[in-house]
């Protein structure tokens, strides 16, 4: 696994390019350059898979995704803009580089906090 540090992610301010997760040929989720960097450097495309798997099942467009890493487990939860928890999931996994992480999904685009050009919180 490549090394990843929180400070690297804080360097992303906005995004000029969007990437897509596709399922059966259609875009299900767009994400920013910062999220792409996170997925590549942190070896965590699995996190994008989790987020994609819940789209269309959650009743809100604006979502806050939080990840907390504790020893051999990762806890993932999704909240709405008022921080009401919508789902939570526990994953048996070790080796993730960060202890915690927040991602924001708004208007169909997943982004790091520094990439938000407006806040819905």
Domain layout of the chain by residue ranges: 6-115
49-95 tens-digit pLDDT: 999 989 888 889 899 999 998 888 999 999 998 999 999 999 987 67
Report pLDDT for 101.
92
Average of per-residue pLDDT values in the chain = 85
Task: Using a pLDDT cut of 70, give the percent of the chain over it.
Answer: 90
Burial class (CB in 10 A: 0-12, 13-18, 19+), 71: exposed
- Domain 6-115 fold is Nuclear Transport Factor 2; Chain: A, (3.10.450)
């Amino acid at each position: 696994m490549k090394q990843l540090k929180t400070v690297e992610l804080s360097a992303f301010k906005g995004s000029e390019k969007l990437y897509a997760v596709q399922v059966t040929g259609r875009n299900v989720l767009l994400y920013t350059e910062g999220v792409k960097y996170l997925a590549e450097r942190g070896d965590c495309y699995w996190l994008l898979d989790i987020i994609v798997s819940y789209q269309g099942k959650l009743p809100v467009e604006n979502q806050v995704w939080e990840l907390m890493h504790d020893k051999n487990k990762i806890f993932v939860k999704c909240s709405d803009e008022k921080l009401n928890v919508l789902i939570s999931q526990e994953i048996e996994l070790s080796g993730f580089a960060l202890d915690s992480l927040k991602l924001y999904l708004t208007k169909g685009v997943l982004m790091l906090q520094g990439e938000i050009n407006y806040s819905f919180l």
